[in-house]
Amino acid sequence: MIEQLHPRILENKDWATLLFVLTFAVVAMTKSAYETRFSEFSKLIFSDKYAKIYRDNSHMKNSFTVGLFFVQVVSFAFFILLTMNIFGYAAKTDWLLFIRIATFLLYFILGKYLIEKIVAASFNIDDFVELFNLQKVTYRTYIGVLILPINAVLFYYNNIPQIIPLAIIGISLCISVYSYFISIKTYQNVIIGKLFYFILYLCALEIAPYYFLYYWITKGSA
């Protein structure tokens, strides 16, 4: 009896490996270049010392923030792709889908930031929004760096339980809510003085975009 041979189809994971190596290298170089700052940043969830020290607007566009912003986008794009794979909506080796997700995240974050700048100028709360944005970027970056090694583990393992990404999303939401609490506590004097504008800003630019994004995703997958 002649055994029939079937060609073995190998998934291409090289692109992901290169990206993981690159992002970990960016984190390592950032840690080396900003040793003290990165040390305080790594303790962000346990202490608000970092938020108090680096609360100036000039920290928004320096190499520390820009480098970790790249890591953040890559990390979130990987997490979304892996979550879609775990729930059976996509292949985790689909690099074209990864690029689309990363591009969408980049445009969504930058577009939202520019709209916030325009609204802040209209409400005359530019300084406060800049500081508030810095706080949000800091905690969002922290989440991105935190889940990067988890992404690497999940990518190279199969049959991941669905509870894993759900738990990560839950923890990330808790950190995000905590970041808002810290921001409100830090800038409470400014907020009280412009409470009406802050509520408008919060509803229009912090709640509505994510609601419509959730509606669009769930409507599209229905």
Give pTM, 2 decimals. Answer: 0.83
Using alpha carbons, list the distances in angstroms from residue 21 to 14, 28, 93, 152, 192: 11, 10, 16, 10, 45
CA-nearest of 38, 96, 32 to 65 is 38
pLDDT at 216: 65
Q: What is the pLDDT of residue 219?
A: 61
Is the Cβ–Cβ distance between 102 and 23 less than 8 Å?
Answer: no
Residue 126: how many other CB atoms lie within 10 Å: 14
CB 218: neighbour CB atoms within 10 A? 9
Tens place of pLDDT per residue across the chain (222 aa): 444 444 444 467 789 999 999 999 999 999 999 898 898 888 888 777 787 777 666 656 678 888 899 999 999 999 999 999 998 888 998 999 999 999 999 988 888 888 777 777 777 777 777 777 777 888 889 999 999 999 999 999 888 899 999 999 999 888 888 877 777 777 777 667 667 777 776 676 666 666 666 666 566 445
Radius of gyration of the chain (CA): 20
Confidence (pLDDT) at 215 = 65
pLDDT at 7: 43
Amino acid at 144: G
Alpha-helical runs (H) found in 87-156: 95-123, 126-155
